[in-house]
Amino acid sequence: MAHFDLDTFLRTQQARVESLLLERAERLASSGAPPRLVESMRYSLMAGGKRLRPVLCLAFADTVARATLVSPLSGDAACALEFIHTYSLVHDDLPAMDDDDFRRGRPTNHKVYGEAMAILAGDGLLTEAFALLAHGPEPVRGALCGELAVAAGAAGMVGGQVLDTAEDRPAQLDYLVRMHRLKTGALIRAACRMGVLAGGGDAEALVRAQMYGDAVGLAFQIADDVLDVTATREELGKPAGADAEAGRFTFPAVVGLEESRRMAKEQVAQAVEAVRPLEGEDGPLAALARYVVERKF
Amino acid sequence: MAHFDLDTFLRTQQARVESLLLERAERLASSGAPPRLVESMRYSLMAGGKRLRPVLCLAFADTVARATLVSPLSGDAACALEFIHTYSLVHDDLPAMDDDDFRRGRPTNHKVYGEAMAILAGDGLLTEAFALLAHGPEPVRGALCGELAVAAGAAGMVGGQVLDTAEDRPAQLDYLVRMHRLKTGALIRAACRMGVLAGGGDAEALVRAQMYGDAVGLAFQIADDVLDVTATREELGKPAGADAEAGRFTFPAVVGLEESRRMAKEQVAQAVEAVRPLEGEDGPLAALARYVVERKF
């Protein structure tokens, strides 16, 4: 059996996501929304990136889908996840938050459109995510809205952001894990679960998606922290060790580099194990889990 | 037949909304969300106000509901509307937006919790609105999410906010009407339609709720502008004529005071007409429509 070709898979799936997002951005432009607002939302939405969350969502939907299922559900779910992820970046970059001027080599939203518009573009992306998910007749759309809202809300992504900015943050592993489980983990878990829901998977697939999503989400964050310590400036696109220099709260800083690597590998093994019954040996989900650690997504 | 007792009705319904909101705020506190975030969300959520949107939603739900229907749907819908309305106030008050230090006699959210937390509390309220709506098994919850997202999104409330802050805003009636239809009208319309959906009303009731909501939304905004010109400082709680002095874009400024009054009355008449087949003569919906103009809600 030939080894699964992850590079081709990723390129294909990322192009599919770009096209799905573009479709929805164009629908937005003809919705009666003010053109300047749509431009600002689209500026951040179409700024590239690896599209991890929509790719995971589509991969799960494709894996569990019965061949007869033809529905825009998984595309809507994938795009809704990226709308949410994008809004979180736009708001995180604001002067009152991280105050970043650049993202992915381009000026951040508020540097181009002003702070008021960046707040509103973020609000718009957040809200439109639910409009996308809810606009069709399928009853599962309510469940998709619920998954996304809980993952992105006060006990999910927004809560994680608050934990990350807390002044009295304790430098302890359990706090670090909890923070990341909320800040990035909840949405990655939701991406996997929403893929199963959109693809019509059963309850066992849903549980496996959750185990996979939790493990991949944590591995992703550990790998991110490790890469910051070990990568060269060229590989990273930002000064290496920037997190450590800024006194940031990272896995290598709390448990050391070797233990961080071991933890990441352990999470990947758990993720691969969780999806074997769904896709068999050597499928895209296992390859994606390994990729997240071996070469940061 | 005794005249409908609006004062008692309002007091009862507002108390009902406070209790529904408090219940949800407490559920949030035990959800795993960071306590400081919950405190900040709750600070703005429980700051009082007339609760127009939830009261309208519950009034429609009660009007169309079959007696057998027992469901937390209308309560969730009512609270989701107030979560959205509250988030919009928190974000509008930010320094980058209207830069307001006080609201309803209390310091604004960012004055108490800081700008970063106010942005996140707004994001949290916005997201939790959909979590509330989507958390149960009823298929109609998907439709409720859709109604709310479209009303609050880029071609709704967020879009209206962008139109209101546009620098090249033309001083024309059609622009003013369009701005208000998006900025406040869309959510008031959604409140009425969501009440019908939550109460299990039929398609005709939905159309009537929409006509009523559109008319009441516009009447509400015109009355607001008129009141600013005519009320005394005591009645208003802020300097009378503040809008005019600030060169703001209002109905009296664009079409004059008398024409504004005529327009508001015309909208109320349309609203009352729309709901007569639903509630008969002298019901709460007609009384609410009149109240919006006669004494600003």
Helix or strand (DSSP H, E) at B234: helix B233-236
Nearest CA in chain B to A175: B34
ipTM of this model? Answer: 0.93
- The stretch A281-291 carries a mean pLDDT of 94
Measured over all CA atoms, what is the biggest interatomic distance in chain B, rounded to whole angstroms?
55
Please count the CA atoms within 13 angstroms of the CA of B160 that sit on its side-chain side.
Answer: 21
How many other C-beta atoms are found inside a 10 Å radius of the C-beta of residue B45?
24
HSE value, Cβ hemisphere, 13 Å, CA-based, for A46: 15
- Asked if the Cβ–Cβ distance from B134 to A143 is below 8 Å, we say yes
pLDDT tier for residue A245 given thresholds of 50, 70 and 90:
very low
Residues 6+ apart with CB under 8 A from B203: none
Q: What is the DSSP string of B260-284?
A: HHHHHHHHHHHHHHHHHHHH-TT-H
Whether residue B119 and residue A96 make contact (CB cut-off 8 A), yes or no, is yes
At A158 the three-state DSSP class reads: helix
**Residue A233 scores a pLDDT above 80:** no
Q: How many interface pairs between A and B have CB atoms less than 8 angstroms apart?
A: 175
CB-CB contact of B76 with B147 (8 Å): no
What SS3 class is residue B81? helix
- Read off the pLDDT of residues A83-117 as tens digits, 9 standing for 90 and up: 999 999 999 999 999 999 999 999 999 999 999 99
CB contact under 8 A, A149 and B161: no
- B179 to chain A: closest CA residue: A34
* Over residues A251-262, mean pLDDT: 93
Cβ-defined contacts of B97-103 (< 8 Å, 24+): B97/A116, B97/A119, B97/B165, B103/B47
Whether chain B has a CB inside 8 Å of the CB on A142: the answer is yes
CB–CB contact B145 A126 (8 Å): no
- Contact yes or no for B165 and A116 at CB 8 A: yes
Q: How far is the C-alpha of B2 from the C-alpha of A240, rounded, in Å?
A: 77
Q: Do A146 and B134 touch (CB under 8 A)?
A: yes
Q: Name the pairing type of β-strands B106-107 and B102-103.
A: antiparallel
Angle of helix A203-230 versus helix A257-279 axis, rounded to 10: 150
Three-state secondary structure call for residue A102: strand
Q: Is B177 on the interface with A (CB under 8 A)?
A: no
Cβ atoms of residues A59 and A195 within 8 Å = yes
- Averaged over A48-56, what is the pLDDT? 95
pLDDT tens readout for residues A148-169: 999 999 999 999 999 998 888 8
The dihedral built from the CA positions of residue A238, A244, A248 and A254, taken in this order, carries a sign that is positive
Contact B33/A at CB under 8 A: yes
pLDDT at A57 exceeding the cut of 60: yes
Q: Which amino acid is at B153?
A: G
Q: Do A150 and B133 touch (CB under 8 A)?
A: no
Q: Which two tokens stand for residue B94?
A: 């930010």
Nearest to B97 among A37, A97, A119 (CB): A119
Q: pLDDT grade, residue A128 (50/70/90)?
A: very high
Residue A83 touches chain B, beta carbons under 8 Å: no
Q: Which residues of chain B have a CB within 8 Å of the CB of A140? A: 142
B29 CB neighbours in chain A (<8 A) are none
Question: Looking at the partner chain, which of A34, A130, A165 has a beta carbon nearest the beta carbon of B159?
Answer: A34
- Per-residue pLDDT tens for B248-261? 689 999 999 999 99
pLDDT in tens, A269-278: 999 999 999 9
- Asked if the C-beta of A135 comes within 8 angstroms of chain B's C-beta atoms, the answer is yes
- Of A226, A154, A195, which Cα lies nearest the Cα of A65? A195
What would the mean pLDDT of A9-18 be, rounded to a whole number?
Answer: 96
| pLDDT of A240 higher than 70 | no
Q: What is the pLDDT of residue B247?
A: 58
How close does chain B come to A154, measured CA to CA in Å? 5
Tell me which chain B residue has its CA closest to the CA of residue A132: B146
For residue A206, pLDDT over 90 is answered with: yes
Which among B117, B123, B131 has the least Cβ separation from residue A146? B131
Q: Find, in chain A, the residue whose alpha carbon is nearest to that of B92.
A: A116
Which chain B residues have a beta carbon less than 8 Å from that of A41? 154
Instruction: Give contacts of B 196-255 with A, CB under 8 A.
Output: none
**Pairwise CB contact (< 8 Å): B159 & A128:** no
In a mutagenesis test of the A interface, which of B26, B130, B163, B165 is the best target, namely the one with the most A β-carbons within 10 Å? B130
Query: In this predicted structure, what is the pLDDT of residue A243?
Result: 52
- Domains recognised in chain B with CATH numbers: 6-294 (1.10.600.10)
CA-based nearest residue in chain A for residue B110? A96
pLDDT range class, residue A294, cuts 50, 70, 90:
confident
Cα distances (angstroms) measured from residue A294 to each of A73, A226, B104, B229, B236 = 31, 11, 54, 66, 63
Closest listed residue to residue B215, CA positions, set B276, B172, B165: B276
Closest CA to B57 of B244, B197, B230, B218: B197
Spacing of C-alpha B187 from chain mean position = 6
Are A44 and A179 spatial neighbours (Cβ–Cβ below 8 Å)? Answer: no
Give the residue ranges of chain B where pLDDT is below 50: 1, 233, 244-245
CA–CA min distance B141, chain A (Å): 5
Residues of chain B contacting A117 with CB distance shorter than 8 Å: 162
Distance CA B139, CA A33 (A): 28
A80 and chain B in contact, CB less than 8 A: no
